[in-house]
Amino acid sequence: MTTAAHLPLRAGSRPRVTDDFPQRQLDQQPADSRYVDAILAEALTWPAVVGRPSAISVEGARALTLDGDVADGPDESRMVGTEFCHVHAQGDFSLHANLPVPLAEAAERAGWAEPHFLVHRGQAPPTVVMIYAPRDEQEREVVAKLVRASYEFAFTAPPSHEAQAVTGSERTSLTEEERTTVSIHVIAPDGGEQSGIGPIRCRIIEDGSHTEHRLGLVESTVPAGPGAPPQHVHREHDETFIVTQGKLRFISGDDGVDVEAGSCVVVPAGTPHTFSNPFDRPAKFICTLTPDRYVEYFRDLSRLQVNEQGLPDLADVGKTMAKYATDVIS
């Protein structure tokens, strides 16, 4: 059984993927097939696994199937026949696999996979995912665990322990024993991790390590003045700004609104936005990040070079944002 406590976050932005047949990963490919070759070689040592040409993918795609009558998992644990996973070909080293729904959702949140485009059309079960091509040895290890979970899902009917270990979402309540042992996590008023650059300072209150990466929290102090981040769009996380001190101006596209302490601003993924403090006193806000992945942006921001005024180059800021599925639009 696979026993990882949770999936680590995949580094960088998601690759581009087609939304038609054949579904392909268009960029962020490794130089060759060595990592997926190693995954397939390992899988072929597992009981009852047989390697065959894929019955549903492109020419040259290599599939993992189960031999005989051991495919006891539910129908949604296999793509066709006993085929539960395949590696693509023709320069594309991504994979398709069937995963238990909690694990499929966890893999998507952590940036390792996305639902097959047929899932969005209602033509495939939510267990079918595209797993992005591993680019190095560390990524190979994570992808190999996902393939192992796919194998366990197809081999036996009960959900893989991986799905429960990764997400914990199978249960909605704690046992009486757990209620007495599970601890909350407290951050002191001066606790957390100091970050940021230039005039805007940040305090990382929760980096996702205590929320299985579902939620991050950052507090920012914004001095009065004209400075502001470039307007931008997050593609893979939502943000909520809770103004706790002073007054801020939030801008989305050509629209602006002045927001006082006690107000909350919700910014769903895909919404252009920025903020500034053109008023006469400092302001503070707490920002929620769901999921937490963008917390790493604030850490990277602290490492940027600054000019004589202590400000980073806006081009460098934009490049740093792009690492976390965020696009500068102005």
Residues 157 and 248 in one domain: no
Judge whether 236 lies within some domain: yes
Does residue 75 sit in helix, strand or coil? helix
Residues 47 and 121 in one domain: yes
Q: What is the CATH number of the domain that holds 304?
A: 2.60.120.10
Mean pLDDT value of segment 237-266: 95
* Helical packing angle, 137-155 and 34-43, nearest 10°: 30
End-to-end CA distance of the chain: 49
Residues 41 and 163 in one domain: yes
Structural domain for 318, as ranges: 193-328
Residues 227 and 107 in one domain: no
Residues 198 and 324 in one domain: yes
Judge whether 145 lies within some domain: yes
**Percent of the chain whose predicted confidence (pLDDT) is above 90:** 61
Give me the pLDDT at residue 184, please.
Answer: 77
Mean pLDDT value of segment 234-238: 92
pLDDT band for position 4 (cuts 50, 70, 90): very low
For residue range 201-210, list pLDDT tens digits in order: 899 999 888 8
Number of Cβ within a 10 Å radius of residue 246: 20
Sorted by sequence, the CB contacts under 8 Å of residue 180 that are 6+ apart come out as none
Structure tokens at 277: 């403090």
pLDDT band for position 55 (cuts 50, 70, 90): very high
Residues 228 and 158 in one domain: no
Mean pLDDT value of segment 255-280: 95
Give me the pLDDT at residue 80, please.
Answer: 92
φ and ψ of 34, to 5 deg: -60, -35
Judge whether 19 lies within some domain: no
Give me the pLDDT at residue 171, please.
Answer: 44
Considering only CA atoms, which of 214, 270, 272, 205 is closest in space to residue 242? 205
Residues 117 and 218 in one domain: no
Judge whether 69 lies within some domain: yes
Alpha-helical runs (H) found in the chain: 34-43, 101-109, 117-120, 137-155, 161-167, 176-179, 295-301, 314-322
Mean pLDDT taken over the chain: 86
Q: Is the pLDDT of residue 162 over 50?
A: no
Residues 238 and 159 in one domain: no
Give me the pLDDT at residue 176, please.
Answer: 53
Does residue 162 sit in helix, strand or coil? helix
Residues 61 and 111 in one domain: yes
Spatial separation of the C-alpha atoms in residues 288 and 286, rounded to whole Å: 7
Residues 128 and 224 in one domain: no
Give me the pLDDT at residue 134, please.
Answer: 97
Judge whether 93 lies within some domain: yes
Judge whether 303 lies within some domain: yes
Q: What is the CATH number of the domain that holds 162?
A: 3.90.1150.30
Does residue 210 sit in helix, strand or coil? coil
Structurally, the chain folds into a number of domains equal to 2
Judge whether 67 lies within some domain: yes
Q: Is the pLDDT of residue 2 over 70?
A: no
Residues 159 and 200 in one domain: no
**DSSP strand pairing (49-53 vs 62-66):** antiparallel
Residues 129 and 226 in one domain: no
Q: Is the pLDDT of residue 159 over 70?
A: no
For residue range 284-308, list pLDDT tens digits in order: 999 999 999 899 898 888 888 888 8
Judge whether 180 lies within some domain: no
